[in-house]
Chains A and B, each alone.
Chain A
Amino acid sequence: MKKLTQKMEFKPFCVLVAIILICGVISGGDFFKITIVEGHFYGRLIDILRNGSRYAILAAGMTMALGTGGTDISVGSVMAIAGAIACSIVDGRILGGLNGNVFVAVLIALLAGALCGAWNGFMIAKLKVQPMVATMILLTAGRGIAQLIADGKIVTITSEAYYNISGGYILGLPVPMFIAVGVVILFLLLTRSTAFGIQVEAIGVNPGSSRLAGIKVERNLWIIYILCGITAALAGLIESAGIKGADCNNCGLMIEMDGILAVAIGGTSLAGGRFSIISSVIGALIVQTISTTIYAFGVAPELTRVAKAVIVIVVCLIQSQAFLTQVKKIRIGKAGKKEAPAV
């Protein structure tokens, strides 16, 4: 039992369950209602799974970048690029020879994501530019690139096959969830069954001594940022599929903040070192649950951001060890005072 509570994943998981339970109670059970519509499950929890998947996928990549003490703030723009490429190909606007082949479009979009990641990796690993600054280049330029690809328009497509990336169902559950689970399993295998995970943590703690210890710091950074690019591209594909179009101006706008937030809520230190992908995925689900909750309870539009902020603050406080010890101290202090006169 002690072991379980000390796991990194324990606290965020409790928070997630608590938020969902509180929502369920306030809504009088409405929040949990799952029905079957046209052969698939339908309900708010399913929405959280589907819409939270793209955060989960992003957070999985982001966790490793943050684990090395770096960060990748270009993910939103990379999402836009991937969406623009895939939709343009499916629409036949570019590479018409492919006849809008969805599979090839997805592959090329993922490759583009990897390329963006490689550019970040090159800046960070080779040129030793600070990760925040290095990825800021793509954050600003990436959206412009996406605009160029999509010709400054929202490319609308009608392909049902492409739509299924976001709106499809397997065994009655949304496809993005399976993509997210796949990504997480792959990343867990990579970080927990090989030395890669420990190397990442080592780089996060001290890159210099890691290098002296024989860890290929540069190579690992390349791999991490390329993976980040690919996960961002995947998230971009899901988002663009969901709306049947590439909205370059808005796709993934400010999502890097949600991604970092998910990782932080999960408990991974932004300073690098110990990380847990599962925690981040739970963090991602918390982020999504918060917005789903806000819509579910009909918070006034002017207050949605404030409401979100308040919940995030509460979640962060629960996560903060310093805060909890302070609370404990105050409680002990109070107890101590009561006992004092008696002595």
Chain B
Amino acid sequence: MKKRLLAFTLIAAMGSALLTGCYAGYPAQTTGTAPAAEAAKPANDKLVVGFAQIGQESGWRDGETNDIQWYAAQHTDTIDLVFADAQQKQENQIKAIRNYIEMGVDVIAFPPVVETGWEAVLTECKEAGIPVILVDRGVDESCADLYDTQISSDFIWEGQQAADIVGDLLGGSGKVVELEGTVGASAANERKEGFDGELAEKYPDIEIIASQTGDFTRALGKEVMESFLKSYDDIDAVFAHNDDMALGAIEAIKEAGKKPGEDIKIVGCDGVKGAFEAMVAGEMNGTVECNPCLAEQIFDTAAKLKAGETVDKWIVSNDGVFTQEDAAAELPNRTY
């Protein structure tokens, strides 16, 4: 009996721990929206933007959230941000957007968690006359005329920039291996398209000798690089579709007794903090930023849309290109 009682209390304790664990993010969401919603109604002269964030999925996403909230906090006299966290669920994002329509915000902005299933809610936005900004991700073709603009990176351009860095580092000739992102991901397909195309066009003497997916992860980036190093002893450079795979590749190169950054040049994408640290240490040569700090562009565009101006259908985010020379100066500014 005693044992049973003990077991029961244990379940109760663990169960409640689980529940509180699950709902930890929830109060933040409601407190985030409720006061802002009340504040939004009287202040009509302010720019009221409803932002339905996907949730916490990566350091990159957190960087984006922080930037938007920070920017709004800096401009409280002109901007009212109504923020919601959808916890990675499309239905939560749709719920938040419907909520914004009901509140009558000026502009709705959100990164669509998936590409499909937005027809209904975007039509509702259009009928309510509220402009929509898609942030950092797109929706499927059928919704093309249901949103006003999309602010996102140009992955093809990123690939081209990376190719230029590699071309410069190798002086126009050499052998390159490519660590691809997740098969089918747009970031992977378009970065590859940009990189391969630019190399073929501008640097015909640089050859891509091998290309394999590393699923955007460090562990696989390392494992694939280990294999490349055994298949070819004359690799001059690596292009990784994201910095994490590049960081994995660095470890593999070290194990092969070569010097990353010198014997084999390494270029990545995204511009995460770890990549900058590696560049400062001389182990990586360059990265093409995929900037999550979109707040300024989002709010500027929102202001234009509120004023009834027309904006481009696709606004390319301000991405930078960084090499070892400017890494040390930029490192303190890295937020993700």
Interface residues of A (CB under 8 A from B): 30, 33, 37-38, 42-44, 47, 51, 119, 122, 126-127, 137, 141, 144-145, 147-148, 152-154, 156, 167, 239, 242-245, 247, 249-251, 291-292, 295-296, 298, 301-302, 304
Residues of chain A within 8 A of B219, CB atoms compared: 239, 242-243, 247, 250-251
**Pair B227/A38 contact, Cβ less than 8 Å:** no
**Pair A156/B277 contact, Cβ less than 8 Å:** yes
Q: State whether A243 and B251 are in contact (beta carbons under 8 Å apart), knowing that A152-B56, A295-B223, A296-B227 are contacts in the complex.
A: yes
Q: State whether A167 and B255 are in contact (beta carbons under 8 Å apart), knowing that A44-B230, A154-B59 are contacts in the complex.
A: yes
Residues of chain A within 8 A of B213, CB atoms compared: 301, 304
**Pair B183/A247 contact, Cβ less than 8 Å:** no
Closest residue of A by beta carbon distance from B192 = A301
Cα A239 to Cα B248 in complex, Å, equals 11
A79 to chain B, nearest CB (A): 11
Closest residue of B by beta carbon distance from A293 = B227
| Contacts A47-B223, A251-B219 known; 10 new A-B pairs at CB < 8 A | A30-B231, A37-B255, A148-B21, A167-B251, A167-B255, A244-B251, A249-B57, A250-B217, A292-B227, A301-B183
Q: List 21 A-B contacts (CB under 8 A).
A: A30-B231, A37-B257, A47-B230, A119-B14, A137-B18, A145-B21, A153-B62, A154-B274, A156-B247, A156-B273, A156-B274, A156-B277, A167-B251, A167-B255, A242-B251, A243-B248, A247-B244, A249-B57, A295-B223, A298-B210, A301-B211
Closest residue of A by beta carbon distance from B254 = A167
Cα A43 to Cα B224 in complex, Å, equals 13
Closest residue of B by beta carbon distance from A145 = B21
Residues of chain A within 8 A of B191, CB atoms compared: none
Name, among B18, B228, B244, the residue most crowded by chain A CB atoms within 10 Å (CB to CB): B244
Closest residue of B by beta carbon distance from A241 = B251
Say whether B328 faces chain A, with CB atoms less than 8 Å apart. Answer: no
**Pair B231/A47 contact, Cβ less than 8 Å:** no
**Pair B256/A37 contact, Cβ less than 8 Å:** yes
Residues of chain A within 8 A of B255, CB atoms compared: 37, 42, 167
Mark contacts of B213-230 with chain A using CB atoms, 8 A cut-off: 1 yes-contact digit, 0 otherwise: 101011100111011101
Q: State whether A42 and B277 are in contact (beta carbons under 8 Å apart), knowing that A239-B219, A295-B212 are contacts in the complex.
A: no
Cα A249 to Cα B313 in complex, Å, equals 33
Cα A42 to Cα B230 in complex, Å, equals 9
Cα A156 to Cα B277 in complex, Å, equals 10
Interface residues of B (CB under 8 A from A): 7, 10-11, 14, 18, 21, 24, 56-59, 62, 180, 183, 210-213, 215, 217-219, 222-224, 226-228, 230-231, 244, 247-248, 251, 255-257, 273-274, 277
A160 to chain B, nearest CB (A): 11
**Pair B227/A47 contact, Cβ less than 8 Å:** yes
Cα A292 to Cα B228 in complex, Å, equals 11
B143 to chain A, nearest CB (A): 28
Cα A290 to Cα B261 in complex, Å, equals 30
Name, among A167, A249, A301, the residue most crowded by chain B CB atoms within 10 Å (CB to CB): A301
Cα A122 to Cα B227 in complex, Å, equals 42
Cα A292 to Cα B227 in complex, Å, equals 7
Residues of chain B within 8 A of A122, CB atoms compared: 10
Cα A153 to Cα B61 in complex, Å, equals 10
B79 to chain A, nearest CB (A): 26
Closest residue of A by beta carbon distance from B181 = A301
Residues of chain A within 8 A of B21, CB atoms compared: 141, 144-145, 148
Closest residue of B by beta carbon distance from A126 = B7
**Pair A247/B218 contact, Cβ less than 8 Å:** yes
Closest residue of A by beta carbon distance from B61 = A152
A4 to chain B, nearest CB (A): 34
Residues of chain B within 8 A of A42, CB atoms compared: 255-257
Residues of chain B within 8 A of A44, CB atoms compared: 227, 230
Name, among B11, B58, B226, the residue most crowded by chain A CB atoms within 10 Å (CB to CB): B226
Residues of chain B within 8 A of A250, CB atoms compared: 215, 217-219
**Pair A298/B212 contact, Cβ less than 8 Å:** yes
Q: State whether A154 and B244 are in contact (beta carbons under 8 Å apart), knowing that A44-B230, A122-B10, A244-B251 are contacts in the complex.
A: yes
Residues of chain B within 8 A of A243, CB atoms compared: 218-219, 222, 247-248, 251
Cα A239 to Cα B218 in complex, Å, equals 10
Closest residue of B by beta carbon distance from A54 = B219
Q: State whether A295 and B224 are in contact (beta carbons under 8 Å apart), knowing that A152-B62, A154-B274, A301-B213 are contacts in the complex.
A: yes
Residues of chain A within 8 A of B57, CB atoms compared: 249
Cα A172 to Cα B274 in complex, Å, equals 30
Closest residue of A by beta carbon distance from B57 = A249
Residues of chain B within 8 A of A247, CB atoms compared: 217-219, 244
Cα A340 to Cα B122 in complex, Å, equals 74
Cα A252 to Cα B148 in complex, Å, equals 40
**Pair A127/B11 contact, Cβ less than 8 Å:** yes
A166 to chain B, nearest CB (A): 9
Name, among A33, A127, A137, A245, the residue most crowded by chain B CB atoms within 10 Å (CB to CB): A245
Residues of chain B within 8 A of A33, CB atoms compared: 230
Residues of chain B within 8 A of A37, CB atoms compared: 255-257
B261 to chain A, nearest CB (A): 16
Closest residue of B by beta carbon distance from A122 = B10
B326 to chain A, nearest CB (A): 21
Cα A292 to Cα B18 in complex, Å, equals 39
Pick the contact of B227 from A126, A295, A302 — CB < 8 Å?
Answer: A295
Cα A17 to Cα B228 in complex, Å, equals 23
